[in-house]
Each structure stands twice: as C-alpha cells, then as structure tokens.
Structure 1
Amino acid sequence: MSTTPIIESVRRLVAQAVETARTDGVVRLETMPDIQVEHPGNPEHGDFSTNLPLRLARATRINPLELAQALVARTPESDPIAQVEAAPPGFINFRLKDTWLQDQVEEVRRAGAAFGNLDIGGGRKTMVEFVSVNPTGPVHVGHTRGAVLGSALANVLEAAGYQVTRSPMPSNGYMGDYISDLAKEIALAEGERFLSQGEEQAIRGIGDLSREKMVALIRQDLSNIGVEFDNWFSERTLFTTGEYDQALEQLREQGYLSQREDALWFNSTMLGDEKDNVVVRSSGEPTYFASDIAYHHNKFIGRGYDSVVNIWGADHQGHVPRMKAAVEGLGINPDRLTILIAQMVTLKRGTEVVRASKRTGDFVTLSELADEVGGDACRFFFLSRTPSTQMEFDLELAKEESSENPVYYVQYAHARNAGILNLARERNIDWSRGDVSLLTHPSELALVRHMLRLPELVQQMAETLEPHHLAHFTMELATAFHGFYENCRVISANPEDADVSLARLKLVESAQIVFRRSLELMGMSAPERM
C-alpha cells in the first residue's frame, strides 16, 4: 500500500493556482517555479505555508501580499483543506479540515504496517554500502555510526519504493593483531592438520580460518544492533572473474590510463580531480584504489545498479573526488554515486571522555558499547545527528530511565500506548465501532497531525538521504502522544464517556501503528512494557 503525503497535495494546489494566474495574465512566467511548502513554526499560521509570492516578487514585479491574494483567489477547493489565506508580507497559509484529520485515523488503521510506504523509487535498484568489513578485528565505535546510518537509510529507501541491497564494503584484509591472535588459537586447536602441510600452505590456511572467524564475529556484533546485510562481496572475486581487467581496459580505451614513473596511473585530473592517482605500482601490485574502481565497475555495469550510496568514515573524505572521477571514467554518470561521510564520535561518561576499552586498553568495540547501553540506544543516538557533524555519545544519558533520555522517552510513549490497548483488551472492549468524528480535543488533533508527517518524512529522507530526521520525528510524536495522554482520558469508568473512549482507542491504535513503523525504520524495538 502506498501513501501520498498531504504536503504533495498542497504543492499541487499551489501549482494549479500559479498556472491559472499565468493563463489569466496576472503573472508572466516562462516556466513553473520551484514550489516549496513547509510547516509553519507557529501553529496559528495553519498546517502548511509557502513563501512563493515573496520569491516571485522581483520576477513578477508584483507586491508579494497582492500576489499571495491573487493566488489564494485561484486556489481550487480541495477536500482536505478548510482554509487558504494570504498573510503578510507574502505567505500563503493552508489549514486542514478537522473532519479530514479525524478520517485519517481510519486511514492509518487500514494501512497498518504499510503506513508511510511510497512508490517514488519505482523499484529502481539501489545499493547502500556501509561498514568496512576489514577482518583484522571486531567492529569498533568508529564504524558503528556509519553502520546505523546505512542500515536506517536502506530501510527508508525500501519504504520509498526502491529495490535496495545492503552490502558491507569489502576489504583486502591484512594481518592485524586480532588476526594474529586468532591464528595462534587455530594453530593450537588444529595444529596437527597444518603440520603436515608446507609452510606457505599452512600459513594461508590458518589465515583463511582466522578471517572466517573474525567475519563471523563482525556479523554477530552488527546483528546485535539490528544491522544485517543482503549481500557479502569478496574483493578477491574481482580478480578471479576478470572484472578488474575489464575495468582497467575500459579506462585504457578511454585514454584515462598512462604508464610513467614505473607505475600505471589513472589520469583523474582529466576528469576534474586535483591530482592523478596510481592504480598499479611498479611491483605490478594493484592499489586499493584500483580495486575500488573494479568494484564500482561490478556494481554499476556488472550487476546493473541504478544508484549506489557509499557511507565512508571521516578519514576517507579526500578519496571522494577521485572515486567520482573513476566512475565517470567508466562511462557512468557520477551523480549515480553518492558518498556520505560519517564524522567522528566521542564517547563520554558525563564530562569524562572515554578513550579506550576497559577490557583491552585499545579502542572501544561495538560489542562493548551495545553491552553497556543496549542496541536500541546505539541506533537512536547515532541517528540523532546529521552524519556530517561530529557527535558526542553520552553513555550515562543513554542508560538513564527518565524523560531526559530520548530513547527511553520515545519507547516509553510506545509502551504507554500498548498498555492502554492491552487494558482495553483485558476488559473486552471492542473499539472497532468507535466514531472518529468525536475526536475534537486539540490534543487529539495535534497527535493526528504529527502522525501524518511520516509519509512526507519518508519522501524527504529518500530524496536527501538523511535518515537522522527519524530521531527528531519520533521525539515529536512521543511529545504529542504524552500530551494527548495527559489531557484526554482514554478508558473511562463513566458510561457517558463510553463513545468518546472508543474513538480515542482508535486513535491510540493508529498512533501505535505510526510508532512501530517509525521505530522499525530506525531499526529499533517497540517494547510494550518498560
């Protein structure tokens, strides 16, 4: 089931008004302007607002307020809209009908778990790639922000109608301390098997087993915070299948490769990069960049993805221009590749910065973080800031059971919601015949308004690739629900309130659907008791 955001209906109304004004000769515009519709900061100004008259004032040479009035007069009637008005200095404000808002409670109930789904993706194939699975040690906190961001973004794109593949970034792998430790364990446990082999074969066999064990550990750590992958890709296959050779040959045919200084260079300056880059060293060994080029050839050409989103750590910022240049060199529109950078995370306990693991004295692992604060807190906190900004993760706040902790605040709202419905079931109350037209209290309608923002939020996040808005949305939804709970008694012992109670139970049920859907998109659980 696909939902159309109401904000799109408002945009269409504004577009129709502008077109009518053009036909009437009121405004002279060669092309339809970009129409921006927002939610006013002050609820007294309505549910939606556009500043289009202000933006068109210079082009049309019409006073913004007069232009707003002219467009209001040409705005067609629409079932959801109760009022359209011009406001100084040049805004057009829209107010939704209370009756339409009431009816949306039933629409949410009918949509159920599909509420918020859109079809703007049209089934296009998209890969979201995140977390560099380098089998040299467990996932650390530095990886985790990108993991949460990527997994939530994949959920959002699926909800928006894209065919999404989640994939970890492959890595060549090298013998780090953790691999060495694992190799020793394997040698002790299975040493007899390797003693009968030659040295080179034994070392290779122990290394392979070590990597397999480490990847299994990485899978489990990520799974513990709800991060799963649809596809695990081995970088070795690029060389065994000939994809690496195909990619370099394509660059060579286009004149983007040159041999100099005993190495093979990708002439990325021809495509706007600041400097050329080595792809094959003088030893004949390919660089990591050469593998990246081959891998993107595999994604776009070999497997036919329409778009790819890579989520990299802050230390890879400088690699973005050359990777975009390489994609263009392969004959692919570089706009089809989006690279998001997840900035650094600082762990804190109150005012104290946590710099190392208590267990090993080394970096803090994802496993340690999840053990201490829980997977849901990991996901919410990492999603609560735009990835382009550095963030502080307060471990003490993440464990606090109070409204100060946003994770607790949001999940408690859902648990309170579930508690109401469970109590109604225990009392054998059938709210299916509730009359939603009885939902007239401002707190009831405010809750409905917040619920209805989810579809437009899915659209916005899919277009901007910014899933962090989910954290803010769930906080606002929780605030609206808590306000409703405090102001509107749902289950009343007074027989005179029975009909209103049934209507409010329908509202609570629809709110639970939106809570669950939002938490699901974030990859979090929706507890019924806390």
Structure 2
Amino acid sequence: MITQKISEQLSKALEKMGIFETKVLVDKTKNIKFGDFYTNVAMTLSKRVNQSPLVVAKEIINNLDQDLFFKVNLQPPGFLNFTLKAKDHEDLLTQIYDQKDLFGQFAKKNITYNVEYVSANPTGYLHIAHAANAIYGDILANLLKIYGYDVKTEYWINDAGNQIDKLAMSVLVRYLQLQNINIELPTDAYHGQEIYLVAQALYEIYKGQFINVRLNEKEEIDDVIVNEQIKKFAVSYLLDEIKKDLASINTYIDTYTSENWIRSSGRILEVLSKIKQHTYTLDGALWLRTTAFGDDKDRVLIKSDGSYTYFTPDIAYHDYKFSKDNTTKLIDVWGTDHLGYIARLKAAMSALGYDPNNLEIVCAQVMKLVKNNEEFKLSKRSGQSLTIKDLVEIIGKDALRWFLGSSSMNSHVVIDVDIALSKNNNNPLYYVQYAHARANQVLNKQVYEFDFKTDLLIETRERELLNQLHFYKQTIANAANNREPHRISNYLYDLAQIFHNYYANIKINDENNKALSAQRYTLVWCVKQVLANGLAIMKITPYDQMY
C-alpha cells in the first residue's frame, strides 16, 4: 500500500530527527502538478518542535531516502509532495491483476467482531427505518471482514414481553374474524396487513381449533396455552418474512438469538450473580449501580413485582455475545431513538468486567423517500410507513443499498425517487455502474495484450487513475477504522468520474503505438476490476452492459 510506504519512510526520517510516535497522514494531492501524494506532518509538528513548518519540512526531506521516489518537493506553507516512480505503478497493476476479486483484502487480524444489526421486533414487516440499519450494518460487517477481522453477524429477536402478547392477541382477533366471529380489533393492537396473513396461515394449519378462544377484560388471550401457541407461530412466521425482506436487499445474518432462549437458558441468573457486588435493593426492586461506571442514574434490574426490566436480558445477551466465538469486540447498530441507552449498557459491561470500549454503538439515521420535493407515500396505505418490500419495488435493491450505503451516519438520509430511477449522470449509482460497463465495453472491442509497465502513461488523467487505484486499500482501511461505509461509495464515484473523463479525452487504442495501447488497456482492466471489487463490498451488481 503506497500510503503505508510513504508513512513508513516519513516515520524513519522523523526518528532520525529525534521525533517518535508521530501520527503521519498521507493523502492524494488535489492537483497532480504538485505530485501524487502529500503529507502535512511538518505543519502538525511545527508547534511541538517550536520551528516553522517550512524548516521542519526541509529537515524531513534531508532525512528521507529520496531514492525511493521519483521526486519529493516542498510546497508552502509546509506540504511535502511525493511523485511516485513508474515501478510503484507497475507493482500496483500487477497486484490488481494477480489478486483480481481479492484485491483490497487485508491480512488476517487476530480479532473477532460480533456485529448486531436490525434486531427489529418480530411483530411486522421491516420498514424504511430498518432498511438504513440493515444496510449500514451489513456493509460495515463486510468492510471489517475485508480489512482482516473475523466477523460474526447477529440479530437479537425480541420475542418476549408485552409486544409479543399483543401480537398474539392481534393475530387471534384476525383469525376469529376470518371465521365470521363478530369481534373488534383493539385500538392498540397491530393493524398491519401482515397480521391478516399470519392469521390466514394460522387458520390453514389449525382450522377452527381456537374458535372458542376470546380476549379477557385486559384485552389479553384468556387461554395461556393458546396464547403461547399463537405467539410461537406468529413470531416464527414473521421472522421468516423478516429474513425474506433482508434477503431481498442482499443481507444475510449469521445468527438469530432469541430473548426467550436467553431467559430460559439460565444466563440471566448467571449475569446477576456476576454483578451482585454492584447491585442493591431499594423499594422492593433490585438496582444496578451504573452511576459507578459513568451512567447518570442507577438502573432497575428486577422490578418490585419480581419481573425483569428489558435491561436485564439485554445485559445477559451482551455477556453471551462476548462469551462465544472468541469475540473481542461488539458493535451494535441502533436507531437514534436509543441514544439514551448507550451509557447504561456500557456501564453494565464494566460491571461484568469487560472493557466498555470493546462495546461500540453506532446509530443509523432517519431516512425518507421524496418525489417532486415531497415525501413519497403510497396512496393505498395512507399514513403507514414504507416497508422494505415497498422500497425494493419502488427503486430496486441496488439503488437502496447505494443511497443508504453512500450516506454518512451523521446525517439524515433523503433518497430522491426520480434520481434513483434515472439512467443518466445525475444518478451516482448509474454513473458508477456505467463506468464499469464502459470499461468492459472498451476491453471487449479489441484484442489486446497486457503490459504492466506504466512508463508511457504520462497523461494527467492516467496519473490520476493510477493514484486513485493506489488509494483503494487506504480507503478500505479508513472506512473500516472510522466505521464510515460511505467512504467506499465516495471512492467509487471519484474513480468513475476520473475514468469517464479519461475515456472522453484519451484515445485508448492507438493503432500507431501498440506499446502505449497495451499499457492503456491494462490500466482500463484494472479500473474495471477495482470498480467491481468496491461494488462487491456494497453488494451491488457491477453490470457488464448498460443501455
């Protein structure tokens, strides 16, 4: 990785100057006339060594092994610019060709991540908010794998508690209505179309077996055994639907862990024993002293009626995740409505003896679709959220993954339906996919030979393409380390833009110069490969033809 090579040489030069443990950042130059890559380390060190950036930069140059580069030059107020040798470019193109689909993957690291995402209650279809969570979590997990980590993905099934009792009640009412029983669905029940489908499936299997079951005055199923049967059936049915929804956007999660299983496995009692020294009893309830670990107030674990709060099985679940698969670190992808839950969960991990920094929580932002500058809604379902099924039908899975995967987690996501469906340069996904198709078209037009030399690739756009290819692995590292999957789409868009400009202005096949043509075809082949690899991280199709 060229950025690593430059960083290492800079660190060696700094050590000769008596400067150690300095973070050195290397990036592509904004203008190729200054060089290929640059660093501002002289400016960041200026105060530390009490010298001007220019003086520091000159001393760095004097201590650099300049023979490793074609040229190193100083640009005021203290930038160091590096122009690469042809050998660096040749090594890169050879590596891309040799590794093909594996180019961009890093060596294995002895660290295992457990990444939990989506984890929606199995009470209905996944909707628009879950899509952002699913795609962010999925691309992040993919990035971490490519960066060399062992990664396990996880879904927490909230199949215990009042919401599941309410689900069973809703299904029973619809089931009875199917058999012409005069019964109203309570106001706070689940009213989605999927509840009808669960009820129909229940009837197909059990026929009239539950026809005499009713709700009690608390609007609960009055038969405990039937309640459990319907709960189990409904959760299983809807969880299958959730898995289908996720598969429709190329998202496949390794493990689905049930809250009911956590509750029945004895793990909650084990956890309560582990954290006993940090608990106390007050007003008949058991409390965890989370304030001792940075929370703003202590939290109840067992209520005065003897039931667990939702916090307690969650602690047991996270303890379970840490205990399996040699897991080193946990990442939870949540919605922004759970921000207030972070401090207490980290405090609980501290109480269990874990490093709270090994639990990371990232929050997926709110997203919406717009059309003609207004929020897009389905007229047939006024007031209801768009589901993942709707989103795939409206804009397609590739567009959904692109527009969600290309958005920063720190900003609200707005997808313009007209742009997402357009087949022109206004659509960034189309622009990138068309770059791949265009490269494929160039390569299929002509019989060519590979030549990994780059001495004839002297055009500015050729150097820009080479430098962008050099920066692919660094982009993966930056995206993985900063938990910012959108860096991949930004990179791909920039690469596509450089390539489209190259195609429009440079004659790739020069019949009078076969040596130059061979080098250009090799460059185009490598651009196509890296575009495909980057799209693969996002699980988006790299088309060979587009119309």
Q: Secondary structure at the match of 2:114?
A: strand
Aligned pairs for 1:198-217 within 5 A:
199-217=223-241
The equivalent position to 1:87 in structure 2, one of 70, 75, 93, is 75
Query: Which one is further off, 94-103 or 363-372?
Result: 94-103
Amino acid at match of 2:70: A
Distance 1:466 1:257 in 2: 37
Q: In the alignment, which residue of structure 1 is the partner of 2:201?
A: 186
Work out whether 1:459 is the aligned partner of 2:483. no
Aligned pairs for 1:93-492 within 5 A:
93-119=81-107, 122-172=109-159, 174=164, 175=167, 176-178=190-192, 180-192=195-207, 194-195=209-210, 199-252=223-276, 255-354=277-376, 358-359=380-381, 361-424=383-446, 429-432=447-450, 436-491=454-509
The equivalent position to 1:18 in structure 2, one of 14, 19, 40, is 14
Q: Secondary structure at the match of 1:131?
A: coil
Compared CA separation, residues 385 and 251, structure 1 to 2 (3 A):
same
Segments of structure 2 that go 5 or more residues without pairing to the other structure are: 168-189, 214-222
Segments of structure 1 that go 5 or more residues without pairing to the other structure are: 23-28
The equivalent position to 1:504 in structure 2, one of 509, 515, 520, is 520
Compared CA separation, residues 210 and 384, structure 1 to 2 (3 A):
same
Q: Secondary structure at the match of 1:346?
A: strand
Contact 1:98 1:445 in 2 (8 A): no
1:86-138 deviation digits (Å, cap 9, x = unpaired)? 2222222212124432442222111211111112x514111111102311111
Query: Which one is further off, 178-187 or 458-467?
Result: 178-187
Compared CA separation, residues 327 and 264, structure 1 to 2 (3 A):
same
Cα deviation for residue 296 of structure 1 reads 0.7
Distance 1:462 1:499 in 2: 39
Compared CA separation, residues 224 and 92, structure 1 to 2 (3 A):
same
Compared CA separation, residues 436 and 85, structure 1 to 2 (3 A):
closer
Cα deviation for residue 294 of structure 1 reads 0.4
Distance 1:207 1:237 in 2: 14
What is the aligned length?
509
Q: Which runs of 4+ in 1 moved over 6 A?
A: none
Compared CA separation, residues 109 and 237, structure 1 to 2 (3 A):
same
Q: In the alignment, which residue of structure 1 is the partner of 2:218?
A: none
Contact 2:128 2:368 in 1 (8 A): no
Question: How much identity, in percent, do the aligned residues show?
Answer: 28
Cα deviation for residue 74 of structure 1 reads 0.6
Compared CA separation, residues 37 and 497, structure 1 to 2 (3 A):
closer
Distance 2:458 2:79 in 1: 28
Contact 1:266 1:276 in 2 (8 A): yes
Q: Secondary structure at the match of 1:132?
A: coil
RMSD: 2.1
1:277-299 deviation digits (Å, cap 9, x = unpaired)? 11222222212211110011001
Amino acid at match of 2:82: F
Distance 2:382 2:227 in 1: 26
Query: Which one is further off, 299-308 or 387-396?
Result: 299-308
Distance 2:514 2:254 in 1: 49
Compared CA separation, residues 78 and 236, structure 1 to 2 (3 A):
farther
1:20-72 deviation digits (Å, cap 9, x = unpaired)? 122xxxxxx5x432222233333333222222222222232223211211110
Contact 1:103 1:437 in 2 (8 A): no
Distance 1:453 1:60 in 2: 30
Aligned pairs for 1:516-527 within 5 A:
516-527=532-543
Contact 1:183 1:207 in 2 (8 A): no
Q: Secondary structure at the match of 2:430?
A: helix
1:239-258 deviation digits (Å, cap 9, x = unpaired)? 22211111111111xx2211
Amino acid at match of 2:281: Q
Contact 1:183 1:206 in 2 (8 A): no
Distance 1:398 1:72 in 2: 48
TM-score, normalised to structure 2's length?
Answer: 0.88
Distance 1:309 1:99 in 2: 40
Amino acid at match of 2:230: I
Work out whether 1:65 is the aligned partner of 2:54. yes
1:203-230 deviation digits (Å, cap 9, x = unpaired)? 3223222221211111111111111111
Q: In the alignment, which residue of structure 1 is the partner of 2:179?
A: none
Q: In the alignment, which residue of structure 2 is the partner of 1:25?
A: none
Cα deviation for residue 304 of structure 1 reads 3.3
Distance 1:293 1:260 in 2: 20
TM-score, normalised to structure 1's length?
Answer: 0.91
Query: Which one is further off, 91-100 or 508-517?
Result: 91-100
Distance 1:293 1:240 in 2: 15
Cα deviation for residue 523 of structure 1 reads 1.4
Distance 1:381 1:511 in 2: 22
Cα deviation for residue 361 of structure 1 reads 4.0
Compared CA separation, residues 251 and 177, structure 1 to 2 (3 A):
farther
Amino acid at match of 1:529: Q
Contact 2:408 2:484 in 1 (8 A): yes
Amino acid at match of 1:515: L
Query: Which one is further off, 194-203 or 172-181?
Result: 194-203
Contact 2:124 2:195 in 1 (8 A): no
Compared CA separation, residues 100 and 187, structure 1 to 2 (3 A):
closer
Contact 2:90 2:452 in 1 (8 A): no
Query: Which one is further off, 474-483 or 342-351?
Result: 342-351
Compared CA separation, residues 282 and 95, structure 1 to 2 (3 A):
same
Distance 1:325 1:490 in 2: 60
Q: In the alignment, which residue of structure 2 is the partner of 1:9?
A: 5
Cα deviation for residue 445 of structure 1 reads 2.3
